[in-house]
Amino acid sequence: MTVTVRFAPSPTGRIHIGNARTALFNWLFALNNKGRFIQRFDDTDISRSTQEFADSILYDLHWLGIFPDVTEYQSRRVEIYDAAVERLKAARVLYACYETPEELDLRRKVRRTRGLPPVYGREALTLTPEQVAEYQSDGRKPHWRFLLPNYTSDPLQPERTEIHWNDLVRGEETVDLASLSDPVLLREDGTYLYTLPSVVDDIDMGVTHVIRGDDHVTNTGVQIALFQALEAVPPVFGHHNLLTTASGEGLSKRTGALSIESLRENGIEPMAVASLAVLVGTSENVATMPDLAELAGHFDPAATSKSAAKFDPDELFVLNRTLIHNMPYSEARDRLIVLGVSGDKAEPFWLAVRGNLDRLADAVQWWRVLGEGPQEPPELSGEDRDFLREAFDLLPEEPWNGTVWKDWTGKIREATGRKGKALFMPLRLALTGQPSGPELADLLPLLGREGTLARRP
Ligand code: GLU
């Protein structure tokens, strides 16, 4: 059977680096197993889901290098869920409940004071036909719960019932169905909660592996029971640890913190995001990988830790610098052209400046310095000015070879007696306007004799 995975966010916000971890775990798993990747939007909550968010999520995935084989929307598949509901009703494992949220809340409190677990007590199963008729005549609409298979003959007497699975990440896992409330699958207004559509889709779409955050471990117990109620074989499950900031704070789509969009806008490279998102909280070292294929070689779900994957967002900047400093021109080329950096000098320029950049777009500032001269005239003492005039008069004639910088500064040293910082700093200021930057030996040939002389103070 073809390995088939899915990434299933609800399109209710922009995805963040923690969501990217889930998407990438699935993508890399598919890559390593020659599998298929389904992009599935869990958009049954139509009040909070939007097409704009779905589009932005696809955009972010493409930016990361993830190209789904197919994209599905749950909101377009409601008939399939309705058919599953009919099957569950026929099997008598879906039952109507009429409690209001306030009534449920009160019951939970009562159970707690009695030392009972705050799970739903299945009171709806004890309603008489008259009570049901009364609710209906009052205009109350039912919500529907799935009867968990945690009893022998009387659902009002639940017993410890273990669901087991061998988790791709966590190994042997167990959930006791008696510790859980029967989940609501359908709301009063006829809309679906996440639980059932997800299982129906996983069956219908032939999903073989469900890889998601460990906040879903308990859901998996319930969902395996649902797979069985629908007479399907459950897929393999894998629950990875969640990313948190160094202070242990979780990430939320709602706050927009560390969204893929904001990282992109801050000039962070996709592979810096992907390398960190995948490798942090695993037994692998966090290091930049040049592409997803190489990252896939370092990806093993079983090497993921069970505790939260803490990271410092500043690590992204460190990884980003490493990527930029080693980025070949062929990779930067198209993006540089968009920024106006093109022509014969673009490649040597890139190789000269990349080691000084935090972000690729910062190359533009150096391109401008080379093309137009220092943005502001450098502040020079009278003494340095005299030194520079003498130095510029010693500039070798063209054609230049690869040693022009060495030849020139050698002559300057000889003529003026200056050396070290006293020699190089005024030259750097005159040529670039900046006290630090790329190697002048690399910049000088790009300026050429004419461009260099234009900077003579
Ligand atoms: N929509 C769910 C979420 O975003 C999907 C969980 C799953 O992968 O099943 O948490």
* CATH code, domain carrying 249: 3.40.50.620
> Which residue, of 184, 210, 231, is where some domain finishes?
184
Q: What CATH number corresponds to the domain at position 98?
A: 3.90.800.10
C-alpha neighbours within 13 Å on the C-beta side of residue 431: 28
Same domain, 61 and 4: yes
Residue 100, domain member (yes or no): yes
* Cβ-Cβ contacts under 8 Å for 231 (sequence gap 6 or more): none
Same domain, 142 and 223: no
Q: Tokens in use for 198?
A: 């997800």
Q: How far is the CA of 216 from the centre of ligand 1 (A)?
A: 8
Residue 189, domain member (yes or no): no
**Ligand 1 atom at minimum distance from 202 CA:** 9
Residue 303, domain member (yes or no): yes
Residue 288, domain member (yes or no): yes
Asked if 192 and 219 count as a contact pair (C-beta separation under 8 A), the reply is no
Same domain, 146 and 289: no
Buried b (16+ CB within 10 A) or exposed e, 111-133: eeeeeeeeebbbebeebeeeeee
Give dist(CA 452, CA 443) in Å, integer.
10
Strands (E), 246-316: 309-311
**Ligand 1 atom at minimum distance from 194 CA:** 1
Same domain, 211 and 315: yes
Range of the domain at 321: 1-74+194-326
Q: Distances from the Cα of 90 to the Cαs of 15, 245, 369, in angstroms?
A: 39, 47, 75
Q: Tell me the DSSP string of 238-262.
A: EEEPPEEETT-PBP-TTT-TTBHHH
Same domain, 388 and 367: no
Q: How far is the CA of 287 from the centre of ligand 1 (A)?
A: 28
Q: How far is the CA of 295 from the centre of ligand 1 (A)?
A: 24
Same domain, 356 and 292: no
Q: Tokens in use for 160?
A: 């410890």
Give dist(CA 338, CA 348) in Å, integer.
17
**Best substitution site from 43, 194, 207, 210 to test ligand 1's pocket, by max atoms within 8 Å of Cβ?**
194
Ligand 1 residue neighbourhood (C-beta within 6 Å): 8-10, 42, 194, 198, 212, 216
Among residues 275, 304, 270, the alpha carbon closest in space to that of 289 is found at 275
Q: Distances from the Cα of 298 to the Cαs of 37, 155, 317, 329, in angstroms?
A: 19, 48, 21, 25
Q: Give Cα 415 to chain centroid, integer Å.
A: 58
Residue 297, domain member (yes or no): yes
Q: How far is the CA of 9 from the centre of ligand 1 (A)?
A: 5
> Which residue, of 372, 407, 438, is where some domain finishes?
372
Among residues 140, 145, 157, the alpha carbon closest in space to that of 102 is found at 140
In 10 A of CB 310, how many CB atoms?
Answer: 15
Same domain, 208 and 307: yes
Same domain, 152 and 246: no
Same domain, 218 and 303: yes
Q: How far is the CA of 155 from the centre of ligand 1 (A)?
A: 29
Query: Mapped to the 3 state alphabet, what secondary structure does 20-88 carry?
Result: HHHHHHHHHHHHHCCCEEEEEECCCCCCCCCHHHHHHHHHHHHHHCCCCCEEEEHHHCHHHHHHHHHHH
pLDDT digits (tens, 9 = 90+) for 228-285: 999 999 999 999 999 998 888 888 776 667 899 999 999 999 999 999 999 999 999 9
Predicted TM-score (pTM) of the model is 0.92
Asked if 355 and 436 count as a contact pair (C-beta separation under 8 A), the reply is no
* Cβ-Cβ contacts under 8 Å for 374 (sequence gap 6 or more): 429, 431, 432, 433, 434, 455
**Best substitution site from 7, 19, 42 to test ligand 1's pocket, by max atoms within 8 Å of Cβ?**
42
The total of structural domains in the chain comes to 4
Give dist(CA 19, CA 9) in Å, integer.
8
pLDDT digits (tens, 9 = 90+) for 37-79: 999 999 999 899 999 999 999 999 999 999 999 999 999 999 9
Residue 377, domain member (yes or no): no
Q: Tokens in use for 140?
A: 């109350």
Q: Which residues pair with 239 in a beta bridge?
A: 212
Q: What is the residue-level pLDDT of the chain in tens, covering all 457 positions? A: 899 999 999 999 999 999 999 999 999 999 999 999 999 999 999 899 999 999 999 999 999 999 999 999 999 999 999 999 999 999 999 999 999 999 999 999 998 999 888 899 999 999 999 999 999 999 999 999 999 999 999 999 999 999 999 999 999 999 999 999 999 999 999 999 999 999 999 999 999 999 999 999 999 999 999 999 999 999 999 999 999 988 888 887 766 678 999 999 999 999 999 999 999 999 999 999 999 999 999 999 999 999 999 988 899 999 999 999 999 999 999 999 999 999 999 999 999 999 999 999 999 999 999 999 888 888 999 999 999 999 999 999 999 988 999 999 999 999 999 999 999 999 999 999 999 999 999 999 999 999 999 999 9
Residue 298, domain member (yes or no): yes
> Which residue, of 184, 218, 239, is where some domain finishes?
184
Same domain, 314 and 255: yes
Same domain, 302 and 440: no
Q: Tokens in use for 423?
A: 């020699």
Same domain, 202 and 311: yes
3-state SS, residue 157:
coil
Q: How far is the CA of 16 from the centre of ligand 1 (A)?
A: 14
Asked if 4 and 38 count as a contact pair (C-beta separation under 8 A), the reply is yes
Strands (E), 151-249: 162-167, 171-176, 184-186, 209-213, 236-240, 243-245
Residue 106, domain member (yes or no): yes
Q: Whose CA is nearest to atom 4 of ligand 1?
A: 9
Q: What CATH number corresponds to the domain at position 445?
A: 1.10.10.350
Q: How far is the CA of 236 from the centre of ligand 1 (A)?
A: 15
